[in-house]
Chain A
Amino acid sequence: MSDIVLKLSGIVKSFPGVLANDHVDFTLKRGEVHALLGENGAGKTTLMNITYGIYKPDEGEIYVNDKRVEITSPHRAMEYGIGMIQQHFSLVPSFSVAENIALGLKESKILPKIDLVRKKVKTLAERFGLDVNPDSRIWQLSAGEQQRVEILKLLYMSAQIMILDEPTAILTPQEAANLFKTIKEMVKYGASVIFISHKLKEVLEISDRITVMRHGKVIDTLQKEEANERILAKKMVGREVVLKISKKPPKPREIELEVKDLWARGDKGPYAVRGVSLDVKSGEILGIAGVAGNGQRELAESIYGLRKYTGEVKIGGEMMHSLGVVSRMKSGVAYIPQDRKGVALCGGLPLYYNLFLKKPFRIPEFYLNPYLFNSSRLKKPSEQLVDEYLISASSLNLEVKYLSGGTMQKVVLARELSLNPKLIIAVHPTRGLDVGATEFVYKTLLKARDNGAAILLIAGDLEEIFTLSDRVAVLYEGEIVGYSKPDESHLEEIGLMMAGVRRVKK
């Protein structure tokens, strides 16, 4: 048997206006972890969707174990031992974990053999360190748990080639560490893994080989030993990237955002934000660190008026009401939510509409009549924004759901920041972004700060917090447990506070 389990040769795939894959060659060796790296929109997901039978390639051949195969559907891919965990999970929400795994199995006849599946799932879960209860319903599980179900699904079908598309984007650092253990375990059992990520550190940690894509083409394939963060970043973006951004000392002025004793409930019922008080001054960035799920999202939503709360929120000295988004928009608050697809953008609307969703209050285009708008008048300012924020899209009329994740984020940033906001609430602003785009976001946020905006930054990634913030607050179980300085020397202190071990009284 040859060493190469999967070979893609000359793959071409075009979408209206973009050549997403341009004669791509790719090989996967038995037992290796092969990282796929590239800017947002480079065509990584497209290439993998072709391998998994979701897209049909325009040209090109696929070989599995040296045999030419036609992969016409994900089901067919599974038969060749290829499994994929997509960025958006494909699970049935009302089914239990075991039922999801049993779905479509040929070994059951009229009645599904749930008990058998449950037993097998339990052994697999133990062997690979995947902690899930086979009887929980999917809708009750966190994103991390759902991902484990997806992995179990692949293991159950004994997939030999596993494709993981940005699996760590939604995970807490601990969960990511566990995932890596599982991946190593799977490789030991003979699987080969294709791993997509934007986090260079991770890529260097987990993979044996690294392939870099840009604009639909493969730029290079490197051994891990030949690579470091700087080399990879440069290959991805095609220019030097400043990974460590230096910032000017802050010039904080008056208090822009003042929060007093804020309480808000989470989706499941109990309080997720428990008496938070904080303030952010113009010209400074307050970073909120914390393990995901400690009330970050709820805090941001409350401050922006999307979630009911009790307590006080003052913006620019003015008292805000719970659930009053419009008054916040009028006071110049920009909001970059963590769920850009669900909250920030309308997937079915063209790009240039999305750029102006929040504008009616401000721009001259609407002064004549705020209730009517003339779409052709939006095009010119849209073009400016597209240029300024380096949004790569084939046309202004493209529906945003067709944009890659990073491009979507740029659309959100362009819309929110072009209003010259006084206060910016940013939640995971670089999640899923490539290094180039991340650098761009950092620079943009810092520029806004230097121009006098107050910024509340919520992020799971400590490095991001350190890079941007002027002060750091740590959120644990809905409370601010302490403040710290944003540099590496305080790493341990912050880590302990994030874990709830240490509290610093203010």
Chain B
Amino acid sequence: MSQNIVITTVAGAIRAGTPLLFASIGELLAERSGVLNLGVEGMMLIGAFTGFAVSYNTGNLWLAVVVAMVVAALLAALHAFMSVTLRANQVVSGLALVFLGSGLSGFWGQRYVGTQAPGFSNLSIPLLGKIPIIGEVLFDRDPLVYVGYILVPLVWWFLYKTRAGMNLRAVGEAPSAADARGINVSLTRYIYTIVGGAFAGLGGAYLSLAYTPMWVENMSAGRGWIAIVLVIFAIWDPLLAMVGAYLFGGISVLQFGLQVAQIPIPANIMKMFPYLFTIIVMLFTSGEKMKKRFGAPSALGIPYSREEKT
């Protein structure tokens, strides 16, 4: 009996954590380049909606995923244009995306409210899926969860081991140094802001195609904000972002578990935990020295210009 609770909680944590994982990896990439994109919530919503609509009308799930990513990436491109080319305030531009995303998805989604569309079903991985308990928890999930498993180590390797990843980190940490080495700061920021948007769209698509395959207005329900917080929690490290995503996913699942077990912790308090955790992490990582050690993007939110003095 108690074993079952553990299995459902862990399995639920992974399911609930996956959309957070995609969105925070996306934000992590954008922030590593020095662009703060607060519009994750909006990009997730537009991804969730377009994904759902394509699945509803064509039944093609993978096409739905791709469209969701492309549309969210377009929103991110708008943010990149505002913050890199126009050098506008990134906070304002990001917040604008939130309203744009929720407004558009709400408007276009009116006629879909409450309808269902084909969604991803679980796919047991041969051999691995047969392992008792572990197989059931980790390897009998929907395909997008597996995408998450593969994505994180890949992004980690990219960021720390490849030349392109090095360039990306340099642009976020010391843009003038990167510029002097012939790295195109603006182009880099465009690329990773847009790629980051695509991942936020993937996170949104996960919600409407796998988590609950139906359309509900504002169905991301604050996950975009948690994803942003997660990036800080993870000190801009993809592996830690994965840990954090599943942890925060677990907290949201625990809410139901506790209700079932009749342990009286109000849901509102539970929802606070991710933020609380993050503040605790920030207490330990916010020193100037710490930031340098972890390679936090110190140019985050600051437009770059060669001639400008800082």
Contact = CB atoms under 8 A, between A and B. Distances in A.
Interface stretch (A91-99, A232-240, A253-261, A441-449): A91-99
B89 interface: no
B163 A111 contact: yes
A164 interface: no
A74 B170 contact: no
Contacts of A104: 167, 170, 178, 181-183
A73 B181 contact: no
A347 B174 contact: no
A402 B307 CA distance: 11
Listed residue (B163, B178, B295, B309) with the most chain A CB atoms within 10 angstroms of its CB:
B163
B174 A110 contact: no
Interface string A160-182: 00000000000000000000000
A391 B118 CA distance: 73
Contacts of A110: 162-164
Interface in A54-75: 54-56, 73-75
5 contacts: A75-B180, A92-B174, A94-B292, A103-B178, A111-B163
B289 interface: yes
A342 B292 CA distance: 17
Interface string B151-184: 0000000000111101101100110111111110
Q: Report the interface size class on chain B.
A: 20 to 34
A81 interface: no
Contact of A103 (B166, B294, B295): B166
B310 A401 contact: yes
B111 interface: no
A401 B161 contact: no
Contacts of A330: none
A402 to B, nearest CB: 6
Interface in A421-451: none
Given A75-B180, A108-B163, A139-B293, A92 B307 contact: no
Nearest to A267: B289
A78 B182 CA distance: 9
Contacts of A109: 163
Contacts of B169: 92, 94-95
Contact of B167 (A55, A94, A103, A137): A103
Interface of B: 161-164, 166-167, 169-170, 173-174, 176-183, 289, 292-295, 298, 306-307, 309-310
A229 to B, nearest CB: 32
A109 B294 CA distance: 25
A429 B46 CA distance: 58
Given A54-B307, A103-B183, 6 more contacts: A54-B306, A73-B306, A78-B182, A102-B166, A110-B163, A111-B163
B161 A92 contact: no
A111 B180 CA distance: 20
B24 to A, nearest CB: 20
A112 interface: yes
A103 B298 CA distance: 18
Interface string A180-224: 000000000000000000000000000000000000000000000
Contact of B161 (A78, A103, A111): A111
Contact of B293 (A73, A94, A347): A94
Contacts of B162: 110-112
Contact of A92 (B170, B289, B310): B170
Contacts of A395: none
Nearest to B176: A90
Nearest to A56: B307
Nearest to A108: B163
Contacts of A93: 173-174, 292, 295, 298
A13 B236 CA distance: 41
Q: Which 7 A-B pairs have the closest CB atoms?
A: A104-B181, A94-B295, A75-B182, A139-B292, A90-B177, A74-B180, A93-B292
Interface in A99-122: 99-100, 102-105, 108-112
B310 A347 contact: yes
Nearest to A83: B180
A92 B173 contact: yes
A73 B294 CA distance: 29
Contacts of A75: 179-182
A74 B162 CA distance: 24
A151 B299 CA distance: 24
Nearest to A15: B307
Contacts of B166: 95, 99, 102-103, 112
Interface string A135-167: 001010000000000000000000000000000
Nearest to B306: A54
Contact of A112 (B163, B182, B310): B163
A103 B181 contact: yes
Contacts of B180: 74-75, 78, 90
B201 to A, nearest CB: 27
A240 B170 CA distance: 48
A428 to B, nearest CB: 22
Nearest to B164: A110
Nearest to B171: A92
A85 to B, nearest CB: 11
A108 B167 CA distance: 12
Given A111-B163, A401-B309, A94 B183 contact: no
A126 B244 CA distance: 46
Contacts of A347: 309-310
A125 B289 CA distance: 27
Contacts of B163: 108-112
Contacts of B176: 90
A110 B158 CA distance: 10
Nearest to B158: A110
Tell me which of A104, A137, A267 has the highest count of chain B C-beta atoms within 10 A of its own C-beta: A104
Contacts of A103: 166-167, 170, 177-178, 181, 183
A267 B287 CA distance: 11
A105 B181 CA distance: 8
A94 B177 contact: no
Contact of A402 (B177, B182, B289, B309): B309
A220 B89 CA distance: 47
A373 to B, nearest CB: 26
Contacts of A401: 309-310
Contacts of B167: 103-104
B132 to A, nearest CB: 40
A444 to B, nearest CB: 27
Contacts of A137: 292-293
Nearest to A403: B309
A197 B122 CA distance: 70
